[in-house]
Structure 1
Amino acid sequence: MAGAYDDRDGFIWMDGQLVPWREANVHVLSHALHYASSVFEGERCYNGKIFKGVEHSERLLRSGKLLDMDIPYTVEQIETAKYDMLKANGWTDAYVRVVAFRGAGEDMGVSSARNPVRMAVAGWEWGAYYGDAKMKGAKLDIAKWKRPSPETIPTAAKAAGLYMICTMSKHTAEAKGCSDALFFDFRGYVAEATGANVFFVKDGEVHTPDPDCILNGITRQTVIGMLRDKGIKVHERYIMPEELEGFEQCWLTGTAAEVTPVGQIGDYTFEVGALTRDIAESYEKLVRA
């Protein structure tokens, strides 16, 4: 399936029913369009099974509550909607996007308590998020923006508003010939990429930022568990930018990114080493098991 995302054949689940793709529309005065009152999940379906789908649905509901937005569906209903969408489109391998948002209603200011919370489930067939970087290592820019403090916005939510600086940073990175950008957080510590968590290797041990102001990704948690099962020590800690010079390997994790090696961040280079390749291969086997 190709072409603009609003002009395709297929079906999207929307507010309890499957609708033809081109008819899955919302009003221009939907609150989410003006005030970012929206949360979402990105998931992958492998061989007919969504990897950790229930965990994603649970997080969607938590994200809604963090934005003072009660999503009117249960985990079970969200799971059913996802599989109904996949079946309607005839997909067994696909990316799945669930989005919940405040629609148009009686309120059109900052307050939106009287507006309905709506939900849609779409999907598409998607290959490697970073293209051939998955084999040879992605090149990352260093973003000028910082991930915000939890005192300014609910950073534990997968909320649309948190991605504004991600879009800008990725555009800047792509203009420089990079695949993505690495953020530091509001304190100056290494944080994450625009849509993926980051891991580093030094002397056979793994280091990854403490997720106290970034999304603690489901793929991130999965990979940490896999590393510990392999007997590899994992340090979840604050990482200073100057430490990048001393790390030997690096990779990104995320539903879209899966496990993608990183070959360069700014002026720092990393080898696509044995541990990176092993965890990438192990993750691929796990999701398709």
Structure 2
Amino acid sequence: MVGAYDDRDGKIWMDGKMLDWRDAKVHVLTHALHYASSVFEGERAYGGKIFLSREHSERLLTSGRLIDMEIPYTVDQIEAAKTEVLAANGFTDAYVRVVAFRGAGEDMGVASSRNPVRMAVAAWEWGAYYGAAKMQGAKLDLSKWKRPSPETIPSAAKAAGLYMICTMSKHAAEAKGCSDAMMLDYRGYVAEATGANIFFVRDGEVHTPLADCFLNGLTRQTVIRMLKERGITVHERHIMPEELEGFQQCWLTGTAAEVTPVGQIGDYRFEVGALTRDIAEAYEKLVRA
């Protein structure tokens, strides 16, 4: 599938109906467009089966509640919609995007309790999120923007508005020839990339930032479990940026990113080592099992 995302062949599930791709539209006064009242999930189907599908659907509902937006669908109904979309488009391996948002209604200010909560499910074929970096190791910039304190945002929600600084950070990184950017948190600790969690290796042990002010990704949780099953020590802790000099390997995790090696962050360089390759290969086998 090629072309702009609003001009493609295919089907999108929207508010309980299957629509032609180009007909899945919203009004310009949709509340989410103006006030970011939107949550979403990014998922991948492998061989016709979405990896951790129910966990994604459950998190969508949780994210909605965290931003005071009750989504009018059950987990089973969301699961059924995703299955319908894959079948309608004839996909077995695909990226699946579920989005719930406050639509246009009687309110057009910050408050929007009288506006309907809508939901859509789309899917498309999507290769490696970082392209060739999936094998060679991604190059990351250091973002000037920091992940905010959980006292200022609902950091456990996968909410659209929380990605604004991620978009800005990634644009700046791409302008420098990088694939992505690593962000610090409001305290100055290493946090994550713009859409993926981050892991480091030192002397055979793994270190990853404590997810206390950013999304604890489902892929992150899966990879931590895989490492522990292999008897590898995993330290979930606060990591200072100057510690990067002492790490030998690095990788990113996320539904879109899967497990992607990192070769460079700013002036720090990392090898695409045996543990990185092993986890990437094991994850690929797991999602296709």
TM-score above 0.5: yes
Alpha-carbon offset, residue 38 of structure 1: 0.1
1:150-201 deviation line (CA, Å, top 9, x unaligned): 0001000000000000101000000000000000000000000000000000
Residue number in structure 1 paired with 2:253: 253
Residue number in structure 2 paired with 1:151: 151
Return the alpha-carbon distance in structure 1 between the equivalents of residues 260 and 153 of structure 2: 28
Return the alpha-carbon distance in structure 2 between the equivalents of residues 204 and 103 of structure 1: 49
Amino acid at match of 1:174: E
Residue number in structure 1 paired with 2:26: 26
Return the alpha-carbon distance in structure 1 between the equivalents of residues 63 and 42 of structure 2: 13
Aligned length: 289
Secondary structure (helix, strand or coil) at the match of 1:57 reads helix
Alpha-carbon offset, residue 228 of structure 1: 0.3
Return the alpha-carbon distance in structure 1 between the equivalents of residues 155 and 196 of structure 2: 14
Return the alpha-carbon distance in structure 2 between the equivalents of residues 45 and 73 of structure 1: 21
Return the alpha-carbon distance in structure 2 between the equivalents of residues 121 and 198 of structure 1: 28
Return the alpha-carbon distance in structure 2 between the equivalents of residues 152 and 278 of structure 1: 38
1:119-155 deviation line (CA, Å, top 9, x unaligned): 0000110000000101010000000000000000100
Return the alpha-carbon distance in structure 2 between the equivalents of residues 118 and 133 of structure 1: 36
Secondary structure (helix, strand or coil) at the match of 1:280 reads helix
Amino acid at match of 2:271: E
Quick check: 1:206 aligned with 2:206?
A: yes
Return the alpha-carbon distance in structure 2 between the equivalents of residues 37 and 153 of structure 1: 13
Return the alpha-carbon distance in structure 1 between the equivalents of residues 231 and 18 of structure 2: 46
Secondary structure (helix, strand or coil) at the match of 2:106 reads coil
Secondary structure (helix, strand or coil) at the match of 1:70 reads coil
Residue number in structure 2 paired with 1:190: 190
Residue number in structure 2 paired with 1:96: 96
Alpha-carbon offset, residue 7 of structure 1: 0.3
Residue number in structure 2 paired with 1:122: 122
Q: CA RMSD in A?
A: 0.3
Return the alpha-carbon distance in structure 1 between the equivalents of residues 9 and 140 of structure 2: 35
Aligned ranges 1:1-289 → 2 under 5 Å: 1-289=1-289
1:206-264 deviation line (CA, Å, top 9, x unaligned): 00000000100000000000000000000000000110000000000000000000000
Return the alpha-carbon distance in structure 2 between the equivalents of residues 158 and 115 of structure 1: 21
Return the alpha-carbon distance in structure 2 between the equivalents of residues 148 and 56 of structure 1: 24
Moved over 3 A (4+): none
Amino acid at match of 2:144: K
Secondary structure (helix, strand or coil) at the match of 2:7 reads coil
Q: Identity percentage over the alignment?
A: 82
Return the alpha-carbon distance in structure 1 between the equivalents of residues 237 and 282 of structure 2: 24
Instruction: Give ranges in structure 1 of 5+ residues lacking alignment.
Output: none
Return the alpha-carbon distance in structure 2 between the equivalents of residues 79 and 168 of structure 1: 32
